[in-house]
Amino acid sequence: MVGASDTSGWARFIVASSATVGYPGPLITVHPGHATAFGKPTVPSLRDLPDPVDLAFILAPVQAVERVLEDAGAAGVRSAIVLASGYREVGQDGRALEDQMVARARTNAVTVLGPNCLGFLNAHARSAPFALTVPKPLTAGPVGIALQSGALASVVLAFARSHAIGVSMLTTMGNESMISTLDVLDYLVEDENTRVICLFLEEIGDLEQFARAAGKADQAGKPIVALKVGSSAAGQRAALAHTGSVAGDDAVVDAVLRQLNVIRVTSIEDLLCTAALLGYDRWPRGRRMGVLTASGGACDIIADGASAQGIEIPDFAPETVAAIAPHLPPFAAAKNPLDVTGYVLANARVSALTPIDHALDAAVQDPGLDFVLFSGVAAPDVRPPDESVATIMEGRVAWLEQRMASSPVPVIPVGSTCVDLSEYGRQLLDRHHIHLLGGMEFGIRAIGHALRWVENRGHVWPGPDPGRNAASRVCPADGVWSEEAARSLLTDCGVPVVPAELVHSADEAVEAARRVGLPAALKICSAQIAHKSDIGGVALGLATDAAVRAGYDQVVAAGRSVPGARIDGVLVSVMRTGGIELLAGVTMDPAFGPVLALGLGGIWVEVLKDTSLRVLPVDADEVKRMLTELRGLPLLRGARGSRPADLDGLAKVITVLGDTAMSFKGALRALEVNPLWVNGDHVEALDVLVVTEPANAAETELTTC
């Protein structure tokens, strides 16, 4: 601890944290001005150490940090934590100071965690260079944690303590000048004590590194649970204010996390309850849940929650009913969800196994269940004073441990509400390796998260540049492409485009309309006019020669009314009726690059914001998953009497669009097909917009009438 005196609160926290985790090694205080600290002699500088220490926790003020780094380098200390604030998070000046500090660290071969961070703890290694309170007792366990907000660490540890959720490591990240959250994620994926990873994220960071780590985690069977903040505009401002980081568009963030099979939660309770379920319990392989409770009200609450999460509560098999019924009072029904009734509570003779235990014995054998939610775990405030009662109760818990271990399906014990375990309850359950989920609300939600994680395993997005889009496209145009060029691009790539011809007179329009088919649609073509229908540049449903002729005159007049618009001609295409119109577009996200947006057209996108997003590239399977996420999916399946769309064929076309967008290697601004028309297995781009990076930025101002 460099710069630690008796009056430093941070130092006192480090001393206390080290004691809490049982840190065995020496904790040396370095201070130039105090001869003793915390009752022990200090050394004046790191240079005065006989041997280099493993880690220097630099508590010195910001202006002294670099000198300490010099000392560390000279003393052969290779790792440091920098606590001081006043760097990148305060703006431009701080950023320069931080760059200078990092350069100094590199010169001296020191790796820095922080600055502006509170250190870390490793419960298994009993190490806690951690300048915050550690609530006692700290249980060592499967949950690895990295936090982009250090002050949350004690909040997170306090909740974990309350629910006996064991922690492997917890790291506060600070400004991530040399060690990033993703570096810690990488470490936790490989750490053998960590079985599940919790992240508090203000920003995603390097997408390629995240994707690589997420893929490794998915393969290793280590779920990642992330509380990613910034879903609200105000939240984004808050994130900006205190770390200086740039939060991405939240809908894209959501898509990215889904692609990486990272479970996204919105509260600390959800973060830890979900992690505990995945870290302690066996994972359910399916959605069919057996429910065993001692309260009808609990059955109701669980059933409602399960329904919201898409978890099924099927009827018990007849043999399960037959096995359970004899253990219930006559007025209780052997149904799923099961209420064994409070009758058991009043049975004065404490017995080795209670009705809910017998029900568990039967339910785990039910072939129709994928897992059993068990709310019959006893964890009283204190050990029952009557020794025989205590012995029987503790025997029941030991029985449960064995029963769970030998059960063919996972048994998930759950508490009623999110209340703390008592000290006695914690010790008893811990001894028998039973983890109790923190109440029905968080428990059911955690199970929902876990099921989605299990279901999405095996197809984690490989990242932004997996090498499968080797072909790079030469840009034939820049700014807004002409209608013809855009249509050619799609045709060349294999995307079906509606038959159409570019004409330059009313006579040509009539002839073209006869060729492509009536009724026809006419549209003015000009790179300078983006929203054609708003200015009368589109004429639809032209069923006769005369109508086509009149339509031609109309759209040309509309085009001429736009000052400076260069008219390329008029596009004559056949009208498509029936079927369903989609929007499929690729835009560039400043943080994540090309993003594919899919939605049903019209109100679906404009009013309902019903779109599915993915960062590119994606394959056809993933595009099909996008389609199934749309609220308008029933329309594609034929809900309003239309022909059900061929979703596989549709997904293939959209995948080609995405690959086409990727082939521009960053030179693309937008590629949008709107509408993309589908009628059964007939898929066609009715209109397409392509915008690429301009050679000359001044030329590209769109006329948006």
200 binds a copy of itself (CB under 8 A): yes
Q: What does the alpha-carbon distance between residue 618 and residue 16 come to, in Å, rounded to a whole number?
A: 50
**Ranges within 416-445 binding a copy of itself (CB under 8 A):** 416-420, 439-441
Q: What does the alpha-carbon distance between residue 497 and residue 400 come to, in Å, rounded to a whole number?
A: 64
Rounded to the nearest whole angstrom, what is the least distance from the CB of residue 441 to a copy of itself in the complex? 4
Both structure tokens of 615: 């960062």
Residue 50 CB-density burial (10 A; 0-12 exposed, 13-18 middle, 19+ buried) = exposed
Interface pick for a copy of itself out of 26, 326, 346, 474 (rule CB under 8 A)? 346
Nearest to 664 by CA among 555, 583, 603, 588: 588
Rounded to the nearest whole angstrom, what is the least distance from the CB of residue 225 to a copy of itself in the complex? 15
Interface pick for a copy of itself out of 26, 35, 192, 234 (rule CB under 8 A)? 234
Name the one range near a copy of itself by CB under 8 A: 296-304, 455-463, 509-517, 585-593.
296-304
Nearer to a copy of itself, 563 or 641 (CB): 641
Q: What does the alpha-carbon distance between residue 490 and residue 485 come to, in Å, rounded to a whole number?
A: 9
511 binds a copy of itself (CB under 8 A): no
Nearest to 167 by CA among 202, 130, 198, 213: 198
Nearer to a copy of itself, 444 or 596 (CB): 444
**8 Å CB contact between 161 and 138:** yes
Rounded to the nearest whole angstrom, what is the least distance from the CB of residue 298 to a copy of itself in the complex? 7
Side by side, the strands of the sheet bearing 520-525 are: 500-503, 569-574, 520-525, 538-542
Both structure tokens of 74: 């000279």
Name the one range near a copy of itself by CB under 8 A: 74-82, 360-368, 414-422, 676-684.
414-422
- C-alpha distances out from residue 312 to 300, 368, 371, Å: 13, 11, 11
8 binds a copy of itself (CB under 8 A): yes
Q: What does the alpha-carbon distance between residue 162 and residue 422 come to, in Å, rounded to a whole number?
A: 8
Rounded to the nearest whole angstrom, what is the least distance from the CB of residue 46 to a copy of itself in the complex? 22
Nearer to a copy of itself, 83 or 688 (CB): 83
Q: What does the alpha-carbon distance between residue 13 and residue 59 come to, in Å, rounded to a whole number?
A: 12
Nearest to 454 by CA among 261, 671, 629: 261
Interface pick for a copy of itself out of 20, 42, 45, 148 (rule CB under 8 A)? 148
162 binds a copy of itself (CB under 8 A): yes
Nearest to 10 by CA among 121, 84, 101, 69: 84
Name the one range near a copy of itself by CB under 8 A: 128-136, 205-213, 506-514, 564-572.
128-136
150 binds a copy of itself (CB under 8 A): yes
Q: Which residues contact 703 (CB under 8 A, 6 or more apart)?
A: 528, 529, 530, 562, 564, 565
Name the one range near a copy of itself by CB under 8 A: 324-332, 386-394, 615-623, 680-688.
324-332
Interface pick for a copy of itself out of 2, 3, 4, 13 (rule CB under 8 A)? 13
**Ranges within 595-654 binding a copy of itself (CB under 8 A):** 602-603, 606-608, 631-632, 634-635, 639-640
301 binds a copy of itself (CB under 8 A): yes
SS3 666: coil
Rounded to the nearest whole angstrom, what is the least distance from the CB of residue 500 to a copy of itself in the complex? 25
Interface pick for a copy of itself out of 120, 159, 280, 453 (rule CB under 8 A)? 159
371 binds a copy of itself (CB under 8 A): no
Interface pick for a copy of itself out of 43, 49, 125, 238 (rule CB under 8 A)? 238
Both structure tokens of 107: 């010169």
447 binds a copy of itself (CB under 8 A): no
Interface pick for a copy of itself out of 37, 229, 570, 645 (rule CB under 8 A)? 229
Interface pick for a copy of itself out of 18, 177, 259, 341 (rule CB under 8 A)? 341
Rounded to the nearest whole angstrom, what is the least distance from the CB of residue 335 to a copy of itself in the complex? 5
Name the one range near a copy of itself by CB under 8 A: 82-90, 100-108, 397-405, 519-527.
82-90
Nearest to 531 by CA among 704, 303, 274: 704
267 binds a copy of itself (CB under 8 A): yes
The secondary element (H helix, E strand) that includes residue 678 is strand 668-679
Rounded to the nearest whole angstrom, what is the least distance from the CB of residue 50 to a copy of itself in the complex? 30
C-alpha Rg value of the chain to the nearest Å: 32
State which amino acid sits at residue 442.
F
Nearer to a copy of itself, 250 or 501 (CB): 250
Nearer to a copy of itself, 583 or 662 (CB): 583
Name the one range near a copy of itself by CB under 8 A: 153-161, 276-284, 549-557, 566-574.
153-161
**8 Å CB contact between 674 and 452:** no
Place of tokens 């009726």: 577
Rounded to the nearest whole angstrom, what is the least distance from the CB of residue 497 to a copy of itself in the complex? 26
176 binds a copy of itself (CB under 8 A): no
Task: Sketch the per residue contact string, 373 through 402, with a copy of itself: x for CB under 8 A, - otherwise.
Answer: --------x---------------------
**Ranges within 550-579 binding a copy of itself (CB under 8 A):** none
Q: Which residues contact 303 (CB under 8 A, 6 or more apart)?
A: 291, 313, 337
**8 Å CB contact between 477 and 483:** no
Residue 130 DSSP one-character state: B
Rounded to the nearest whole angstrom, what is the least distance from the CB of residue 1 to a copy of itself in the complex? 13
Rounded to the nearest whole angstrom, what is the least distance from the CB of residue 83 to a copy of itself in the complex? 9
Nearest to 407 by CA among 441, 440, 362: 362
584 binds a copy of itself (CB under 8 A): no
Q: Is the dihedral of CA 456, 460, 464, 466 positive or negative?
A: negative
Residue 314 DSSP one-character state: P
63 binds a copy of itself (CB under 8 A): no
Nearer to a copy of itself, 392 or 608 (CB): 608
Rounded to the nearest whole angstrom, what is the least distance from the CB of residue 257 to a copy of itself in the complex? 14
**8 Å CB contact between 27 and 18:** yes
Nearest to 469 by CA among 358, 586, 606, 573: 586
36 binds a copy of itself (CB under 8 A): no
**8 Å CB contact between 340 and 332:** yes
- C-alpha distances out from residue 451 to 43, 504, 629, Å: 54, 59, 17
Name the one range near a copy of itself by CB under 8 A: 23-31, 129-137, 183-191, 218-226.
129-137
